[in-house]
Amino acid sequence: MLMEQRIYKKGTGPAAHPETEKMSLQRGARHLLAKQRGWFPKQRRSAHSVGIIGAPFSYGQKRRGVEGGPQAIRDAGLVERLSGLGCKVHDYGDLNFTTVSNDTPFNNIVHHPRTVGLANQSLTEAVSRAVGDGHLSVMLGGDHSLGIGSVHGHAQQRPDLCLIWVDAHCDLNTPLTSMSGNLHGQPVSFLIRELQDKIPSLPGFSWVTPCISAKDLVYIGVRDVDPAEYYILKNFGIRYFSMKEVDQLGIHKVMERTFDHLIGKQKRPVHLSYDVDAIDPSLAPATGTPVIGGLTYREGMYIAEAVQNTGLLSAMDLVEVNPKLATSDAELNATVNIAIDVISFSLGQAREGSHGKYDELPTPSATYTTNEQTIRL
């Protein structure tokens, strides 16, 4: 079975260099030869220590059901998939969020500000703890307003992080430009330093401090951009690859330019915030704000693989899976399975195969005997 081939064992394969001295001389020489001939991929894959945080939260938008995302993703076998990749998984469980009563809209338009603010405050602590504990944080949403707390919490531990936001939308409205009043369309505006004189003080948000600069962010997959968002993209010099650029350049060049822009020669931690609505709704239909013309499965997974290959991924979000919006079991399964695939490819699953378990094929023993106990095949 495919999964079995991907199990990594400590001390085997090219990812286990500290163990090299334990290899026999012969095996060591063969390993070296293979390396010189370029048989191993350039990137070393090593098992991650992963901290999973469930964030069953839906008040950043109006369609209830997205709070069921973490459970649906867990039920479909996320932990088993990641363990099968060799990841050490620590599940922190789901956060308990409080719905603030009398949470009147800000400016008569922005909905549930206190409830969203409070939820993100507890998420920021949870992500900060997970990263501080030495895990790669995987936050399961919930709606994308949770991006505020997740990136903010990550930045508490890794202030030099950069952010890759994979989404059909920019989620970049300010509370003063939002037309829907949904905070899941605004999280990035709270995070960017250069925008802060445009952000009003929202009840529930006094704890938020912006933690990235406009140059630390790249969007991929956008195809539904509001006028104010476009203004911000252009006037603050934010790098973005809409679906048009994905068409023009191909996903490989898009990722190359993303890393050139964000990382270059100086290594820094990457935060990947992945909205399942970036994927085309024909493939991932159970989501609140689907937009036709999205990423193919292959493009969606290429992004995850490319991020994993940098070796710099430090925290990620997978958001906006809404089980209640599936019109059939098939739609639900398709969406949830894509969510799990995005996470798995971000954490080391590879279409070209993984190179952990086998560094040597079994050979029929030269000292073959008819005694069944000693036959080695």
Report the C-alpha gap between 109 and 198 in whole angstroms: 17
Question: With contact defined as beta carbons under 8 Å apart, do 347 and 47 qualify?
Answer: no
CA dihedral 244, 195, 346, 56 (to 10 degrees): -110
**Residue 366 structure tokens:** 């030269």
The catalytically annotated residue of 229, 245, 275, 317 is: 275
Residue among 278, 233, 105 at smallest CA distance from 175: 105
Residue 279 or 334: the one with the smaller Cβ distance to Mn ion is: 279
Q: Which residues pair with 140 in a beta bridge?
A: 54, 318
- Asked if residue 144 binds Mn ion (CB under 5 A), the reply is yes
- Let me know if 247 is a catalytic residue: no
The number of residues that bind Mn ion (CB under 5 A) is 4
Q: Backbone dihedral region of 44: left (phi > 0), alpha (psi from -120 to 50 degrees) or beta?
A: beta
Residue 135 or 144: the one with the smaller Cβ distance to Mn ion is: 144
- Asked if residue 167 binds Mn ion (CB under 5 A), the reply is yes
Q: Is 277 annotated as a binding residue?
A: yes
The catalytically annotated residue of 94, 103, 143, 277 is: 277
- Asked if residue 171 binds Mn ion (CB under 5 A), the reply is yes
Give the one residue of 224, 245, 275, 280 binding Mn ion; rule: CB under 5 A. Answer: 275
Q: Is 17 annotated as a binding residue?
A: no
Tokens 């001389």, located at residue: 25
Question: With contact defined as beta carbons under 8 Å apart, do 56 and 95 qualify?
Answer: yes
The catalytically annotated residue of 103, 171, 245, 299 is: 171
Question: With contact defined as beta carbons under 8 Å apart, do 272 and 164 qualify?
Answer: yes
Q: Could you tell me the smallest distance in angstroms from the CB atom of residue 131 to Mn ion?
A: 22
Q: Is 143 annotated as a binding residue?
A: no
- Let me know if 277 is a catalytic residue: yes
- Asked if residue 143 binds Mn ion (CB under 5 A), the reply is no
Report the C-alpha gap between 158 and 163 in whole angstroms: 12
Binding-site residue positions: 144, 167, 169, 171, 275, 277
Binding-site residue positions for Mn(2+): 144, 167, 169, 171, 275, 277
Chain residues in the site for Mn ion (CB under 5 A): 144, 167, 171, 275
Residues taking part in catalysis: 144, 167, 169, 171, 184, 275, 277, 320
